[in-house]
Amino acid sequence: MRKEERAAALKPPGKNLGKRIIKHWEFYLLLLPGIVLTVIYKYIPMYGVQIAFRDYNAVDGFWGSAWVGLKWFEKFFTNYRSFRMIKNTVLLSLYSLLWSFPIPIFMALLVNQVRHKKFQRTVQTILYAPHFISVMILCGMLRIFLSPYGGLINAVISLFGGNGNVNYIDQASSFRTIYISSGIWQDAGWGMIIYLATLAGVDASLHEAAKVDGASAWQRMIHIDIPALIPIIVIQLIMSFGSLMSVGFDKAFLLQTDLNKEASEIIATYVYDQGMLKAMYSFSTAVGLFNTAVNLVLLTCVNKICKKLSNVSFI
Amino acid sequence: MKNKKIKKTGGAVLSSSDRFFEIITYAFLLLIVIIVAYPLYYVLIASLSDPYDVYAGKTFFLPSQFTLEGYKRVFQESAIAVGYINSIYYTVLGTAVSVALIITSAYALSKKNLPFRKVIMIFYVITMYFGGGLIPTYLVVSKTGLMNSVWALILPGGVAVYNVIVARTFFENSIPEDLYEAAQIDGSSNIGTFIRIALPLAKPIIAVMVIFTMVGYWNDWFTALIYMGEKSKYPLQLALRQILIQSQATATMIGNMDGGYAEANRVTELIKFASIVVGSVPMLIAYPFVQKYFEKGFMAGAVKG
C-alpha cells in the first residue's frame, strides 16, 4: 500500500488523481447521500445565518431581505433581560460542570473495585438506566416528585418534620439545584463508561507487583488507578469547558414556568421563544449566532490550551 | 482478565485494612445504586397504586391498593396510542436511514487512500462546531417541503458526525486490511467487499449505532414540536408533554368523565405514572442487550475525536 502511494506521489498529479478518483467511484457513491443532506440541511442554513444582519421576510428570502447591519445585536444587548440570560446560561453550565464532573470518576473507581464480574455488570446496568429515559419523562418525574401536593420530596421532608408544602418547580432559587442534581442522576452512570474503559486497560501486572510489595487496595487505587485516569480526566475537563455556553435547551425549557424565569431563562430558550413563538426570525437568529460565536471562541482557546498541555487536540 | 487474576491471588487473603476498604466501597456503591434506582422503582409502584394513596405518601416500598386502572386508562387514551404508533414508525424508519448513512459514510472515509478524504472529513467536522441555528434550519426545512412529514425528523439531522468518527475508527482499527485485499484479488467490487466482508465484521459497532440512534429518535420531541403541526402526527414524547408537563386532562379523559372536575383530576394523576412507565420501558429493555459494546464504542470515539 505505502509503496504504491509513494510511487503515486512521483507521477504527475493531475492524471493520476483522476485515475484514483475513478478507481474509488464506489466510495464516493457511498458518501454521496450524506454529503447532499449535509449541504442542504447544514451548509445552506449556515449561509442563511446572514439573516441575523438582515430584516428577514419570506418573499425576499435569505439573500434578498434588507441589510440592517448590527440592529438585532444592538436590540439584544440593550434589552434588560439579556444580561440575566447570559448570566443564567453561564452559571447553569459552570455549576453543572463543577458538580457533575467529579462524580463519574468517583463512581468508576468504586465500580472498578468490585471483583465479582457478574455483580459488576448488574451494577453498571442499573447505573446506565436513567440515561435512556427521555428528558420529557425526566422533567415529568421531577414535576411529580417536587409537587407541593404529596410529591415524594415534600413527603420525605415532612416525614422529618420539615415544611412539606414547598412548590419547588416555581421557585427560581431552586431551579439550578433541580437542573443539576437531576442531570447528575441521569448521566453520572453513563459518564463513568469512559473512565471504566480506561481502568480496564490498566496493566494487571502493576497491581500484582504492588500487592507483592504489600500495598493495600486503597493504596493501589490511589497510586495506580487514579494516575492512570489523569490524562483522560484532563481531556474530558478541557473539552467540557469548550462547551460551556451550549447548555442543554430541553431541560431548561421543560422545567421553565412563568415564575422561575429569573433563573431558568437561558439564551437557548429565548431563541426559541423569540423565533418560533413570536416569529422574530432575524432577531432570534442574531441571538443564536451570538451564542455560537462565544462557543467557538471558547472552544478554540480551550483547544489551544489542550494542545499545549497534552499534545492532544480534538479539532 | 484483570479481575480474575486479582481474585485468584488476593481474594482469599484480604488483610483487615483491605476488608474495611471493601466494606466502605460496597456501602457507597449500594447507596449510589439506591439513589439511582429508587425513583424508577417509586414510579413503578405508584403506577400500580391508588392515586390518593400515592399522594398520601403510602407507597414508599410497595404498591398500595394494587390496581391496573392507570394502565387501562393509558391504553384507552387516544393521544398516547396514536403517539406510540407514530413513535414506533419514526424510530424504525429514522434508525434505518441514519445508521445506513453513518455506516456507509464511515466505511468510505476509513479508506486511507481515498482522494479528498481529509477534505470531506473537515467538511463534516465543521458541522459539529458551527451551525445555522434554529431559525435558518427551520426555514430551509420548510422551504424543502418537509413540514408535517416524517422526513423532517430524519433528514435535517443528516449525518451524525460523531458517530461517523466512532464507526470510522472501528473500520480502521478492527478489520484487517488483508481481508479487503484478499477479496479484491478474488475479483470482488468495492461495494461487494463492503457488503460481504466489512458489514458482517462490523456487527458490534452497528449494534451500538442502532441503540444510540434508536434512543435518540424515541426520546426526541423538539424536532416534532417545531416541524409537526398536526396533533395526529405527534410522537409519544409530545403526547406525554401534555400529560406530564402541562398537566392537562386530555379530551378523551374529559369526554369519558362522569365525576366532573375532581374525577378528571384523579385520572390525570393516575395516568401520569403509568404513562412514564409505558413511555420508557422500550428503551430500558433494549439497552442491556448491547451494553457490552458501550465501552468499545466510547474508546473508539475517544482515541480519535
pLDDT tens-place string over residues B156-213: 987 999 899 889 988 888 888 888 888 888 888 888 889 888 899 888 889 889 999 9
Q: Would you put residue A134 in left (φ > 0), alpha (ψ -120 to 50) or beta?
A: beta
pLDDT above 50 for B305: no
Radius of gyration of chain A (CA): 26
The answer to whether B43 faces chain A, any CB pair under 8 Å, is: yes
Residues A50 and A189 in one domain: no
Q: Which residue of B has its CA nearest to A157?
A: B57
pLDDT above 50 for B7: no
* N- to C-terminal Cα separation, chain B: 28
Q: So what's the pLDDT on residue B216?
A: 94
Q: Per mean pLDDT, which range of A164-168, B108-112, B139-143 is the poorest?
A: A164-168
Helix extents (H) in chain A: 2-10, 13-23, 25-38, 44-48, 61-64, 71-78, 80-100, 102-113, 117-128, 135-145, 152-159, 172-191, 193-200, 204-212, 217-220, 226-242, 249-255, 261-264, 267-272, 281-310
Q: So what's the pLDDT on residue A13?
A: 52
Enclosing domain of residue A299 = 78-310
pLDDT tens-digit readout, A235-271 = 788 778 777 777 788 999 999 999 999 999 999 999 9
- For A301, list phi and psi in degrees, rounded to 5: -60, -50
Q: Per mean pLDDT, which range of A83-92, B92-101, B135-144, B296-305 is the poorest?
A: B296-305
pLDDT above 50 for B138: yes
pLDDT tens-digit readout, A113-135 = 998 889 999 999 999 999 999 99
- What percentage of chain B carries pLDDT values higher than 70? 87
Q: Which amino acid is at A270?
A: Y
Q: Which residue of B has its CA nearest to A57?
A: B139
Q: Which of A42, A67, A92 is the last residue of a domain?
A: A67
Q: So what's the pLDDT on residue A4?
A: 54
* Long-range contacts at B146-152 (CB < 8 A, ≥ 24 apart): B146/B227, B147/B227, B147/B229, B148/B227, B148/B228, B148/B229, B148/B230, B148/B233, B149/B227, B150/B89, B150/B90, B150/B93, B150/B94, B152/B223, B152/B227, B152/B228
Within the 259-288 window of chain A, which residues sit less than 8 Å (CB to CB) from chain B? 271-272, 275-276, 281, 284-285, 288
In the numeric block, the cell 430558550 is attached to A269
Q: So what's the pLDDT on residue A18?
A: 85
- What is the tally of structural domains in chain A? 2
Q: So what's the pLDDT on residue A162?
A: 83
pLDDT tens-digit readout, B23-63 = 999 999 999 999 999 999 999 999 998 888 887 778 888 88
- The confidence band for A2, taking pLDDT boundaries of 50, 70 and 90, is low
Residues A280 and A151 in one domain: yes
Sign of CA dihedral A50, A51, A52, A55: positive
pLDDT above 60 for A312: no
* N- to C-terminal Cα separation, chain A: 28
Q: Which of A37, A136, A289 sits opposite B133 (nearest CB)?
A: A289
The answer to whether A49 faces chain B, any CB pair under 8 Å, is: yes
The answer to whether A21 faces chain B, any CB pair under 8 Å, is: yes
Q: Which of A128, A204, A285 sits opposite B1 (nearest CB)?
A: A204
Mean pLDDT of the B240-245 span: 88
User: What mean pLDDT, rounded, does chain A reach?
Assistant: 88
Q: Which residue of A has its CA nearest to B106?
A: A31
Q: Which three cell numbers stand for residue B93?
A: 424508519
Q: Which three cell numbers stand for residue A98?
A: 463543577
Is B133's CB within 8 Å of A49's CB? yes
Which chain A residues are within 8 Å of B243, Cβ to Cβ? 140
Q: Which three cell numbers stand for residue A294?
A: 462565544
Q: So what's the pLDDT on residue B219?
A: 94
d(CA B239, CA B258): 23
Residues A162 and A21 in one domain: no
> The pTM is what?
0.87
Which residue would you say has higher pLDDT here, B263 or A208?
A: A208
Residues A50 and A118 in one domain: no
Q: So what's the pLDDT on residue B113?
A: 86
pLDDT above 60 for B255: no
Residues A196 and A293 in one domain: yes
Residue A217 lies in a domain: yes
Residue A140 lies in a domain: yes
pLDDT tens-digit readout, A158-194 = 888 888 888 899 999 999 999 999 999 999 999 999 8
Mean pLDDT of the A9-17 span: 60
Residues A133 and A31 in one domain: no
**In CATH, what number is assigned to the domain containing residue A235?**
1.10.3720.10
Residue A72 lies in a domain: no
Residues A91 and A49 in one domain: no
Q: Which amino acid is at A82?
A: S
pLDDT above 60 for A9: no
Q: Which of A13, A38, A67 is the last residue of a domain?
A: A67
Residues A115 and A209 in one domain: yes
Q: So what's the pLDDT on residue B11?
A: 47
Mean pLDDT of the A8-18 span: 61
- The confidence band for A7, taking pLDDT boundaries of 50, 70 and 90, is low
Q: Which of B57, B108, B280 sits opposite A31 (nearest CB)?
A: B108
Which chain B residues are within 8 Å of A314, Cβ to Cβ? 305
Residue A131 lies in a domain: yes
Residue A185 lies in a domain: yes
Residues A22 and A106 in one domain: no
Q: Which three cell numbers stand for residue A24?
A: 474509488
What ipTM does this complex have? 0.87
Residues A203 and A182 in one domain: yes
pLDDT above 50 for A299: yes
Q: Which of A31, A47, A67 is the last residue of a domain?
A: A67
What's the farthest any 2 CA atoms get from each other in chain A?
A: 85
Residues A233 and A97 in one domain: yes
Q: So what's the pLDDT on residue A5?
A: 54
Q: Per mean pLDDT, which range of A283-297, B20-34, B50-64, B143-157 is the poorest?
A: B50-64
CB count in 10 Å sphere of residue B187: 7
Residue A73 lies in a domain: no
Would you say B177 and A13 are in contact if contact means Cβ atoms under 8 Å apart? no
Q: What is the DSSP letter of A49?
A: G
pLDDT above 90 for A74: yes
Would you say B58 and B64 are in contact if contact means Cβ atoms under 8 Å apart? yes
Could you give the domains of chain B?
Answer: 2-67 (no CATH), 73-232+283-303 (1.10.3720.10)
Is B6's CB within 8 Å of A48's CB? no
Residue A315 lies in a domain: no
- The confidence band for B9, taking pLDDT boundaries of 50, 70 and 90, is very low
SS3 A66: strand
Q: Per mean pLDDT, which range of A144-153, B49-58, B230-239 is the poorest?
A: B49-58
Q: Per mean pLDDT, which range of A47-56, A169-178, B197-206, B215-224 is the poorest?
A: B197-206
Is B215's CB within 8 Å of A275's CB? no
- The confidence band for B248, taking pLDDT boundaries of 50, 70 and 90, is low
pLDDT tens-digit readout, A214-230 = 888 899 999 999 999 98
Which chain A residues are within 8 Å of B12, Cβ to Cβ? none
Residue A94 lies in a domain: yes
Q: So what's the pLDDT on residue B253?
A: 58
Residues A51 and A83 in one domain: no
Q: So what's the pLDDT on residue A3?
A: 53
